[in-house]
Structure 1
Amino acid sequence: MYRKSSFKRSPLQDLFIHWQQMDWPILFLAVGLTFFGGVMIRSTGLNKPVAYWLQHWSFGAIGLAIAFAIARISYNNLLRWHWVTYGLTNGLLVAVDFMGSSAKGAQRWISIAGFNMQPSEFAKVGMIITLAAILHRRPANTLPTFFSALAIMIPPWLLVFIQPDLGTSLVFGAIALGMLYWANAKPGWLLLLVSPLASAILDSISQPAWIAWAVLMGVVAWFTLPMRWVTSILAIAMNIAAGMLGQVLWHVLKDYQKARIVVFLDPDKYPLGAGYHLIQSRIAIGAGEFWGQGLNQGTQTQLNFIPEQHTDFIFSAIGEELGFVGAICLLATFFVLCWRMLRVASQAPNNFGSLLAIGVLLMISFQVVVNISMTIGIAPVTGIPLPWISYGGSALITNFVAIGLVESVANYRRKFTV
């Protein structure tokens, strides 16, 4: 006869019983980055009347509560609602055109109860959920599944692009390409997909390189697509046409988008105009040297040489005030965070959970790479924020929602030995 177990859970164990298998390092790192972001935002805005850093922490607390709520619910429930999510995503993006507010040449925000919401930020998570739901049923190693996933991505991507929001549209592209690769799409297909963009760029740099690239894409099509002769000729023709249309596409861009590209190639050409941000950012990061000038001590930062530094150019303040050491520590933190998310993706009990986690990983890592690259001058300025660090309520809450999805996958995975 068995006796009743005398084991009794502590109140603390009862409190966290629904989050037993969560990946706590991911959550702690996200919270730590949010706290650090508030500290740096305060450093960039000491002379400003609005306490952006307090607002940043407030939005972070809201996002953390949402992440805990999402982590408690099984991510598999999203499978039944992924078309609803997709519909809401596109509906909000369409609503921006009718009731959205504009700033700096773009119409991106909707005001709800006095708060400005940016639907394009939440659309990233909506796209991850939709693509994960589509690709988990059938891998992307067949052309019908590959093109059906692309067809689903195009409407929200197009709605974001015409706002215009070039930065977020690039994030959409990175998410789609990475998730397709994770779902077993052939790398050659992905290369052919982005090849017209490369042709449009190469045509303006070197025509021999452009022609060589077009021929190379014909070779890739020969080895990866059916009907070899037809698809190879089409691939070459498509890339030649893309190069010839490069000038036409240039005129489609808004003036400020053109300026960002020109400035990336030669920022010193407009030292007091479009190149001002980038030049001052590089000066600030260089001035930080190895150890930095100290928190709240950076000359470029404290004297407001870099406008709106608390948003997209927050990394320049980190580089100036905390130096090379602070920048490396931040990069190491992001690396560990991304590695933990990759670990969750590889341990997920099904394809849907794995694709959700990898989609969030792609969203975060792409934004980190592009944001830091643009502040040091090796990528065009695209308006992509630094996750959890840059000021912005919609972006911050979106990142916590995404982390909540990853934690849900971790919380409902099987136990693995590592």
Structure 2
Amino acid sequence: MPSNATPGLYTIILNATYSSYTLNATITGSYFTQIYVAGGYSLPSVRVSSTYAFEGQVITIYANITYPNGTEVKYGMYSATVYPLSLSGLYPLISQVFETPLWYNPRLGLWVGNVTLPSQYSLGSLTYLGGNLYFSSPYGVLVTGTSADGYPTPSSLSTQYTLYVIPYTMLNGATLSGIKAYHMALINDTLIGGVYVDSILINDTLIGNVTLVNCNASELTVINSHLLLVSSSIGRVRAINSTVELFSSRVGELDLSSSTYVNENSVISSIYPKPPIVIINSPVNGTSLTGLVTVNFTVIGNDVLNVSLYLNNHVLIAFTGNGTFTYTLNTTDYPDGTYELSVVAVQSSGAVASSSVEVNLANELLSLSGGLSRLTGELASNATAMRKALVELNSNLTMIEILLLVSLALSAAALAWFAASRVKST
């Protein structure tokens, strides 16, 4: 077709002449057909409601179809063909047996159509698959058609959109009772008992004894149930008159209404009602205690079932409710040393809060210190007495020295007089 051909409908006529030797005659024939030459393509830009979809899920195809100048195509006939990419080579055949019609949505400005993906329970819209197990694989979506004024879409497979069907069978709005299921995508379903492994749950209601193993969920409502979570990740759990047990799991928000929970090596980002708060007012951390000591602590929170005071994990006393509590601790009942004084508050939901301080019991040290003080006092008193005696002794020694000096002086004088007398007599 010449590149400068004017858009429009063309008739092509083929004439043939054949000289037959056998018939000794000239045979003529003719054939004609018609083709339409368009002024350009109408170009579809395709997306789907879920690029990653589940088996059995209904997906919506959206196509923004425009003229070469960019304006929207609002009138025409368009359809979408959905097929496993592994069957791309059979597209011409598949497009003859399966096409999903698209209609123009003026509010969105898009051409729209719905397709139900196949699953092990139903082939959905893709009935041409028969018994072939192409349920979980990449799928191609090719939109073809012509605008009302004769602008066709390209037919090349390079314009196809790719979506991925993951190996989870989707059930939406169903009620399942007492089953053991694997690789399920459960959306807005009611699960009455059962065990679910490697599954995805979105906005489901759980009743009875339900176990989830290695599952992911957005939001679960648990009513009159016992829910066991093992190695699972849940966005939000709303429990009513239920018990929730978590083992190596993660929960974003745990909302408890007349319910309890058990946490074993799991992470809970937030709990409602909030766990109680425990504050030990006295004694303070690192204090040395002797004799009778008043322990004072405060518990803040709702639905507090039990409050226990411990000394090195030994229960001293238990209370109920919230508020400020006191206890008199006789430290002389315990050997000296470092002890952990702790308060543990348990909520009716099972939430536990605690606070602790380290204290030193020093009664024996105090007794020893008193003995040393008394001994020091006695030593000081004795030293004073000794100093007084020494002073008196020093005073007495001084008088004796004076008397001795006087006596010596008198003796010397007497000797001198006696010697002088002898000299005179001679």
State the TM-score, normalizing by the size of structure 1.
Answer: 0.18
Larger radius of gyration: 2
More helix by share: 1
The higher relative CO (CA closer than 8 Å, separation ≥ 6) is in 1
State the TM-score, normalizing by the size of structure 2.
Answer: 0.17
More strand by share: 2
